[in-house]
Amino acid sequence: MTSALRVKIFADGADLAGIAALYANPLIRGFTTNPTLMRKAGIAAYEAFARQALEVVPDRPISFEVFSDDFAEMERQAIKITAWGDNVYVKIPVTNTRRETSGPLIRRLVDRGIKLNVTAILTLEQVRRVARALEPTSSSFVSVFAGRIADTGRDPVPLMAAAVDLLRPYPGQQLLWASPRELLNVFQADAIGCHVITATADLLQKLSLVGTDLAEYSLDTVRMFHRDARQAGYSL
C-alpha cells in the first residue's frame, strides 16, 4: 500500500544514527528538524550537527531552522544556513514571538534565491499570507502543523484540504503536513493531495503494520497482555 502513496514522507528528528538509518530507506524523500527536537536529542553545537547531518543526507531536501526572534538576525542566520548545501531549506517561523508577521523577511530571502520552509502555520489566513510572500514558482514548503490543530479538538483534514486548494496557483510551493499524531495521517494527507508529510522515527516504525490482518493483530494484542502479566508475576 505504501508504494502507491503520492504524498512524500520526510523524516523528522535530530538523531544522526536515526537519520542515517532512514536515509537508507528510499521511501523517505527528505528530512526536517527544529531547535526543540535538537535540544531533546542533546545537541549542543547547532552548526556542527547540521554539517554532520548533511554528510549523511547530501542529496535530499533537509530543513534547518533559524532560532532568533529578531528578523534582521533571522535573515543573517538564514543566509549562513543556506550556504551549507544545495539541498538545504531554511525554516522561517510564520511570525516571531511578538506576533509580527515574517512576510517581509520571507520576501527578502526569496529574492535572494534562498529555499524556504515556512513553519509553525496553523490557520488558513497564515497560509494565504505566506503563499503571497513566497515566489509562486520558487521551491518552498508551507508547513501546517496539522497535529497541533488536532490537539485542540479540531479535525485538521478540512483545513489541510483547503490549504491544498489555496496553493494550487503557486506551483513551486508544497504543502507540508507537520506533526502527525498517527499513521492514519499519512493516508489522510495522501487522499487530499498534500505534497509532503513529516513523521518521527517512532511513527515511521508503524509503516510495517500497514495492511495487517486485524484478526491477527487482535491475537497479537491478547498475547501481549498475557505475556506482560506473566512477566510481571501478577497473581490473584
Hey, what domains does the chain have and what are their CATH numbers? 2-210 (3.20.20.70)
pLDDT (tens digit, 9 = 90+) per residue, 128-172?
A: 999 999 989 989 999 999 999 999 999 999 999 999 999 999 999
Given its phi and psi angles, is residue 61 left (phi above 0), alpha (psi -120 to 50 degrees) or beta? Answer: beta
Summarised one tens digit per residue, pLDDT across range 88-111 is 999 999 999 999 999 999 999 999
Cell of 101: 508577521
Q: Please give the sequence-ordered ranges of beta strands (E in DSSP) within 7-107, or none if there are none.
A: 8-12, 28-32, 62-65, 88-93
Rounded to whole angstroms, the Cα distance separating 236 from 234 reads 7
CA atoms of 33 and 175, how far apart (whole Å): 17
For 17-42, the pLDDT digits (tens) are 999 999 999 999 999 999 999 999 99
Write down the pTM of the prediction: 0.95
